[in-house]
Structure 1
Amino acid sequence: MTEELEAFRRTNTWDLAPLPFGVKPKYIPDILERATLSDPSIATTLLSTLMEMNLKLCHDDGDPLSQPTRDQKLVGALVYLPATRSDRYAVHILSQFVSSLTFIHYAALIWVLRYLRGTITQSLFFPSDSSLSLHVYYDAGWADDADTRHSTTGFFIFLGSSLISWRSKNKAVASRSSTESKYRALANTTVELKWLHTLL
């Protein structure tokens, strides 16, 4: 568990394990093929981190793209990444700006695509000998949305050493204090935890 948390702090994602022998990914290569047609650097430059650390994107960052349709479709396609990958946090961030993509958002999209290219044959690992005990980590960022000043809550739930549930969400209302935002995060995490507990 300690190693996984340290890996998350270091790379902003969970370490991925190689796919089993003979398993070939299909969905991600299709997305990358479409993206590479317009930006060949995606195929040549691989990245080991999902997003720049502490990256804060705003709706009015940079100049708007003149023809954003293709990139909007790419972000839309990334929403359906397989459930065995933990990359969806970055996609969640990008999808907030899909209606008005700018060159700054485009640079973040290219970063994610290069990361996917570098980890295309990897996936989250669920060992068969993992224990059935649940471990929960949650947090909240108070007023950390640069556009609305709303809080962002998130949690990670492990079954033994396997990451089985995670979520990051902007709250619809502004919290009056960091304590209130953490209390909301705890409430959301408890709901998910109780549901998972009924499945065990």
Structure 2
Amino acid sequence: MEPKRTSKGMTLLECAVSMAIMASLLLAAAPALDNMHRRYALATAADRVRRQMVRAQSTAAALSKNCGVYYFQTNGEWMSAIYTDENGNGVLRSEIASGVDRRIEGPYPLLNTTAPVVVGIGNGFTDPDTLAPFTAGSSPVAFNSSFICSFSQIGAGTPGTIFLTDGGSLGAAVRSSGSDGNIRKLYYAGKGQKWVER
């Protein structure tokens, strides 16, 4: 009677073919995985920016005085801090500088510096309101003509937007609507696309 043969595994050729197939699948999936990572990073960054605005809005209601998030750059990095209005005329840059308006939070980097997201207007982005392309030199942070998003004790906020980009075609925007107190997040999926609220 002939002894039963047992399998000794794959041959070197079979192993090489399997590895080549796996490598091809990974290469095919890499762009989609990178896109998913960038979308997730944008959503996380937009949430971070929105949460800080909501904290300022809630603090204004709790303290019965205006509070504002002041956005500024230090060595090219966007920073933010929350201030309270101490004399009833709103949170002002001049009074932040003089110490009249009191800092209650920050300053902190606006974004996580390890994420592939920056404060900026990406190439080909359109204005969410007009759908017209942005002009060169447009600021990615604008609340009326200021860098301060203030909230009253009843929740109304300074209208304006902070734009975020992955450095490519994806983007996000965090918007204070103004008197209704809404703070919204919009996302941009690439050139020629519309901003979508999520």
TM-score with structure 2 setting the length: 0.30
Please state which structure has a larger fraction of its residues in helix.
1
More strand by share: 2
Specify the structure having the higher radius of gyration (Cα).
2
